[in-house]
Structure 1
Amino acid sequence: MSIINVMWSGGSPFASVHKVHQQILSQAAPDVSIKNWLLQHSAPACLCELGDTEALQLPSRFIKGRGIWALVRPLRNRFFRNALLKNDAQLVLLDGVGVARALLPAVRGLPHIRAVVMFHGSTRLQPQDLCFFRQFSTEQLTLCAVSKTLADAIAADVQLPVMTLSCMLDPHAFVPRLASREQARHQLAIPEHHQVFGAVGRLVESKGFDTLISAFAQTLKTHPDRLLIIIGEGAMRRALESQISALGVQDKVLLPGYVDNVASLYRAFDWMLIPSREEGLGLVVQEAVIAGIPVLASDLPVFHEQLGDAGSYVPVGDETAWAQAIEASACARATQVAAHQYASLDPEHAWLRFRQACSTVLSDR
């Protein structure tokens, strides 16, 4: 069996999506051939480990086929059709609706190829997307989402079944890669005596880091020895840097940028803060909990789905509530909270359920 994993692009903005696809494809049978296509730019190492990887370097206008570029859609469809046939594809794993729009027209004319569309977050589905999905049989097209919360939302939009493929990390593989607290703090240049709050994610509006920075600055009035480290890169860097400067907390709120294998450094933190305004899965929750770091997160259904009653939740976008929650967490017994959250997430059994779901999705039906 041959699987083609098609993703939009490489690069740090897509790191969490790469992790999810890597986890899914790692569950393929040993005799399955896996090839990765990146429609644009270079491929991440985690995908290269799975099989041959190619960055196609296609122009965005060619991929999307909008406006006057709609004239090249037949050429685009023929390009992908020929590539799928040349690689003897039997299953294609597609990264979200953007990749699906580009590849599914080619797949539709090849009934021996099954397509799986993986949704990683909320997306604006257009009426033509819904019509196009409905042209496929359930045997040829499977829609999946990384959480039940997201699957339910998309199913309500498309009025089609959406399978929940709750991505989970293998705790037995993840834990040995973790650096100790001392090693992690040394790598991030954090003084040992500081209480450190961490946050990880793309520097974009949906992650809510602007709210977090304002809230954290409020707590420094009574606890000036605290640090907030937000690891990631994105379009909001300049805006966040300006906000930090305006609040006068340049030495207390740090933006070190993208850090490779950042999850291995989570033990540098006393708490992980996740102020997202929206989230498809929130892989950081799993990584932090498995690392033994307690999580304080926005009050979103997807986080409740993972942590249940053990979660510590804060109203979305509420600076005052976040400041109060940070103060309360600083007084809580972090090890006890972390243990409770670990028991609720139950990574060992969640990992087994994920593996079984992957086997179903990747099977040669």
Structure 2
Amino acid sequence: MSILNIMWAGGTAFASVQKVHQQILSHADKSVSVHTWLLQGRAIRNDCLTEQPVEWDLSSARLKGRHLWKLLMPWMRARFQKALPEDLQVVLLDGIGVARVLLPVLKRLPHVRAVVIFHGTTRLRSVDKKLIAQFPASQLTLTAVSQTLAGTLECYLQRSVAVLRSAFDPAVFRAAALPREQARTRLGLSVSDSPVLGAVGRLVDGKGFACLLESFASVSADKPDARLVIIGEGRAREALEARIEQLGLQGRVSLPGHLPEAATLYRAFDWVAIPSSEEGLGLILQEAVMAGVPVLTSDLAVFREQLGDAGWYAPVDDPVAWGELMERAFATSCDAVVETQSRVLAPEQAWDDFKQTTERLFSCR
């Protein structure tokens, strides 16, 4: 038996998606062969992949059938079908983009079960609904990484969507986390008790880091020893660096870039901020709380789903509200807050639920 894991692309921008897929695959039977395809780009050394993938290196225009590439779509799908393992039983598809390309191929293989994993909000088309409707539930399983996302998809697709709330083994994750002093040293921070606010994510507009800078600037005026660290890389780096200079935050805000060991560094922070405008789940929330660090988040349904009344929320893209939330956080003992957030998040139970759900994905029909 073989399992095929098909990803849209590799690289740091897709690190969280890779984490989810690898967590799912970790629950497959050890005797099963696992293969990975990357449709776009190349794998890099720090990708969260357990084996060397097949790199198709296809352009977005080709995969989406734009312009003249539409005429070659049947030929491309024939290549995919020819490359499938002979003993293939289950295929994991990374979101609707990959599903649009591969589901027509799998339609001809009724003995193969497809699992589409939705990681975040996406623009579904009427043709997507029609494509999915062609498959019986025995051949196609739809999953989403949160109840919030699953509910939205079910309303549009009129089809059951399983909740596969991504989770990590809490014991393993905590064991890998560096102590506070070591983590701060790794990030070039003072090991003193100066408050440090952390953030992790791609440097893109949807992550809300511009708002975070504005609010931090107002708070740090009265708390000059406070520091902000945003771990990640992306196309918004230049704009964020310019804003840091305009706000006079040099030396108080650092952008260390993408760090493959970021998941081990949370204890360098007193709080972690997640000011995203939208999220499918938000793995950073889980990672921070498991590491013993409380979180401040945007007031999104997906965050309330996980933290309920234990969450500390601010409206999306509201620097004034975020500044007030930061002031409260810096004046509050974080130990009691993270204890409450951890109890509500219940990472051990989430891990057990995740294991049971993923094991069902690989069980025989």
Instruction: Name the TM-score class by shorter chain.
Output: over 0.9
Q: Residue in 2 aligned with 1:33? A: 33
Q: Secondary structure at the match of 1:182?
A: helix
| Letter paired with 2:111 | H
Q: What is the identity percentage for the equivalent residue pairs of Structure 1 and Structure 2? A: 50
| Structure-1 residue corresponding to 2:156 | 157
Q: 1:46 to 1:210 in 2, by over 3 A?
A: closer
Deviation by residue 1:342-365 (Cα, 9 ceiling, x = unmatched): 111111111101100101122231
Q: Can you list the C-alpha shifts for 1:145-185, whole angstroms capped at 9, x where unaligned?
A: 00000111111121211111011110011111111111111
For 1:80 and 1:264, locate their aligned partners in 2 and report how far apart those are by CA, in whole Å: 38
Q: Who is 2:65 aligned against?
A: 65
Structure-2 residue corresponding to 1:245: 245
Structure 1 residue 47, shift from structure 2 partner:
4.7
1:202 aligns with 2:209: no
1:87 Cα deviation from its structure 2 partner: 4.3
Match of 1:192 in 2: 191
Q: CA offset at residue 52 of structure 1?
A: 5.0
Report if aligned partners of 1:40, 1:57 keep a CA contact under 8 Å in 2.
Answer: yes
Q: Secondary structure at the match of 1:90?
A: strand
Aligned to 1:113: 112
The residue type equivalent to 2:16 in the other structure is S
Once the two structures are superposed, residues 93-128 of structure 1 have per-residue CA deviations (whole angstroms, 9 ceiling, x without a partner) of 000111111111111111111111100000001111
Counterparts of 1:118-267 in structure 2, within 5 Å, are 118-193=117-192, 194-267=194-267
Structure 2 spans left out of the alignment, 5+ residues: none
Name 2:314's counterpart in structure 1. Answer: 314
Residue 15 of structure 2 corresponds to 15
Tell me the amino acid that sits aligned with residue 40 of structure 1: Q
- Please report how far the alpha carbon of residue 46 of structure 1 lies from its aligned counterpart in structure 2 after TM superposition: 6.0
1:204-225 deviations in whole A, cap 9, x for unaligned? 1111111111001000110011
Moved more, 25-34 or 285-294: 25-34
For the Cα contact (< 8 Å) 1:43–1:54, is it kept in 2?
no
Contact 1:230 1:256 in 2 (8 A): yes
Question: Which amino acid in the other structure matches residue 321 of structure 1?
Answer: A
Amino acid paired to 2:70: A
Aligned-pair Cα RMSD in Å:
1.3
Matches within 5 A, 1:270-309: 270-309=270-309
Q: Secondary structure at the match of 2:138?
A: coil
Q: What is the CA–CA distance in structure 2 between the aligned matches of 1:74 and 1:42, rounded to whole Å? A: 24
Q: Which runs of 5+ in 1 are unaligned?
A: none
SS of 2:342's equivalent? Answer: helix
Contact 2:22 2:49 in 1 (8 A): no
1:19–1:46 Cα contact (<8 Å) kept: no
Contact 1:47 1:53 in 2 (8 A): no
CA contact (8 A) 2:154 2:161 kept: yes
Matched residue SS, 1:67:
coil
Kept in 1, the 8 Å contact 2:18–2:49? The answer is no
How far 1:88 moved relative to its partner?
A: 2.7
Deviates more, 1:38-47 or 1:209-218: 38-47
Q: For residues 291 and 92 of structure 1, do their structure 2 counterparts lie closer, same or farther at Cα, with a shift above 3 Å needed?
A: same
- Aligned-pair CA distance for 1:272: 0.4
Measure the CA separation in 2 of the matches of 1:28 and 1:105.
25
Aligned-residue offset at 1:82: 1.0
* Cα drift, residue 43 of structure 1: 3.0
Secondary structure of the residue that 2:234 maps to in structure 1?
coil
**Deviation per CA, 1:206-252, whole angstroms, max 9, x where unpaired?**
11111111001000110011111011011111111121111111221
Question: 1:59 offset after TM fit, Å?
Answer: 2.7
Preserved contact between residue 38 and residue 54 of structure 1 (Cα < 8 Å): yes
Q: Distance in 1 between matches of 2:205 and 2:362?
A: 34
Q: Give yes or no for contact 1:288–1:295 (8 Å, CA) kept in 2.
A: yes
